[in-house]
């Protein structure tokens, strides 16, 4: 396990994932009935952007660092929840901020240091459970939720070969076990071929109602670079495609440097 999110917290990929995640959670919270969230690869939960790790890559400067001060829709909600300059919340903190008393969060994190940080962050919190366990395995063990509604965020580090195949298999498994779950699954866009294969696998998986939202800062042709990223959403809420389009267009306007081939898309892979 080499991946540490502290080097990447608040980068463009976090901005994209978290801005869309917030819109999905807002839609769940529009109904009074309680929901649960499972964050399978949760990270440390909160990050200090003045740390040596964040300073070493400086990635946040081309991400959340460009968004502070935005008070207009569609990014204002995300920017406000991201908090003041110098810190950055991970997905568990963002989810926690949007839980109502009837909702709850389960987080899984395998790295011992990050799992310890998460535990410390939520020690006194009865609405949050932290598990130092394998998130892939938790997709089976912790679903379906007794609440019968909720969201599963799958955000693996993509440091091992076969992660796209594993993700596609997990989406299929979860759709079968817990049909009502909203799934939000992050993936990297380094070059097009693996993403095309992932989309093709999903189109033929039998899983219904799939949308892929993608943002890329340059033509995705260099397999060594994170040129863009995507969020695969299963069971998106009503109007998600329009909401996601607005968010991605606004993000690209702030985060893009006009490099050739930059862009975004919201693609319906499978109908309802
Ligand atoms: C991309 S980061 C997560 C970032 C976090 N979801 C956020 O948005 O703030 C991926 C995390 O998964 C953890 N991890 C790697 N393999 C795992 C596994 N099999 N189960 C649970 N966590 C894992 C890594 O230690 C890392 O902290």
Q: Which residue ranges make up each domain of the chain?
A: 5-270
Q: Among the atoms of ligand 1, which is closest to the Cα of residue 8?
A: 1
Helices and strands (H and E) in the chain: how many:
9, 10
Nearest to 38 by CA among 135, 126, 123, 156: 135
User: Which of 157, 159, 184 is the best mutation target for the ligand 1 pocket, counting ligand atoms within 8 Å of the beta carbon and taking the most?
Assistant: 157
**Using one digit for the tens of pLDDT, what is the confidence trace for 131-159?**
999 999 999 999 999 999 999 999 999 99
Provide the mean pLDDT of the chain: 97
What values do phi and psi take at 161, rounded to 5?
A: -65, 150
* For ligand 1, mutation pick of 38, 39, 42, 187 (most atoms within 8 Å of CB): 42
Task: Give the residue, by CA position, lying nearest to ligand 1 atom 1.
Answer: 157
Say whether 155 is catalytic.
yes
pLDDT digits (tens, 9 = 90+) for 237-270: 999 999 999 999 999 999 999 999 999 999 999 9
How far is it, in rounded angstroms, from Cα 204 to Cα 206? 6
- pLDDT on residue 122: 98
Q: Is the pTM of this model over 0.95?
A: yes
pLDDT tens by residue, 120-132 = 999 999 999 999 9
Residue 1's pLDDT is 75
Give residue 68 CA to ligand 1 midpoint distance, Å: 25
Which class is 5-270 in CATH?
Answer: alpha beta
Burial of 104 (0-12, 13-18, 19+ CB in 10 A): buried
What's the rounded Cα separation, in Å, for the pair 218 and 258? 8
Q: How confident is the model at residue 44 (pLDDT cuts 50, 70, 90)?
A: very high
- At residue 2 the predicted structure's pLDDT band, cuts being 50, 70 and 90, is confident
What distance in Å separates the CA atoms of residue 69 and residue 76, rounded to the nearest whole number?
9
Using the predicted structure, report yes or no on whether residue 43 has a pLDDT greater than 90.
Answer: yes
Write the pLDDT tens digit of every residue in 156-180.
Answer: 999 999 999 999 999 999 999 999 9
Whether the Cβ atoms of residue 122 and residue 114 lie closer than 8 Å to each other: no
Phi, psi of 186 (to 5 degrees): -85, 145
pLDDT digits (tens, 9 = 90+) for 86-99: 999 999 999 999 99
Distance 71 CA to ligand 1 centre (A): 30
């Amino acid at each position: 396990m080499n991946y540490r999110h502290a080097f990447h917290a608040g980068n463009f990929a976090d901005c994209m994932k978290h801005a869309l995640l917030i819109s999905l959670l807002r839609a769940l919270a529009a109904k009074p009935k309680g929901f649960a969230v499972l964050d399978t690869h949760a990270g440390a939960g909160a990050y200090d952007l003045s740390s040596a790790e964040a300073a070493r890559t400086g990635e946040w400067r081309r991400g959340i660092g460009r968004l502070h001060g935005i008070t207009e829709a569609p990014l204002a909600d995300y920017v406000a929840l991201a908090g003041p300059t110098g810190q950055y919340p991970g997905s568990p903190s963002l989810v926690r901020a949007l839980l109502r008393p009837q909702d709850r969060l389960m987080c899984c994190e395998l790295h011992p240091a990050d799992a310890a940080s998460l535990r410390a962050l939520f020690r006194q919190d009865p609405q949050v459970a932290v598990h130092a366990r394998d998130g892939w395995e938790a997709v089976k063990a912790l679903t379906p939720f007794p609440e019968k509604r909720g969201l599963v965020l799958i955000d693996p580090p993509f440091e091992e070969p076969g992660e796209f195949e594993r993700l596609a298999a997990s989406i299929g498994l979860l759709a079968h076990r817990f049909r009502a779950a909203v799934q939000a699954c992050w993936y990297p866009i380094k070059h097009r071929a693996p993403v095309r294969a992932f989309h093709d696998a999903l189109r033929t998986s039998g899983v219904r109602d799939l949308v892929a939202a993608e943002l890329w800062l340059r033509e995705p042709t260099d397999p060594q670079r994170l040129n863009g990223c995507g969020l695969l959403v299963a069971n998106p809420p009503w109007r998600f495609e329009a909401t996601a389009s607005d968010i991605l267009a606004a993000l690209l306007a702030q985060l893009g440097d006009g490099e050739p081939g930059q862009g975004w898309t919201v693609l319906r892979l499978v109908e309802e």
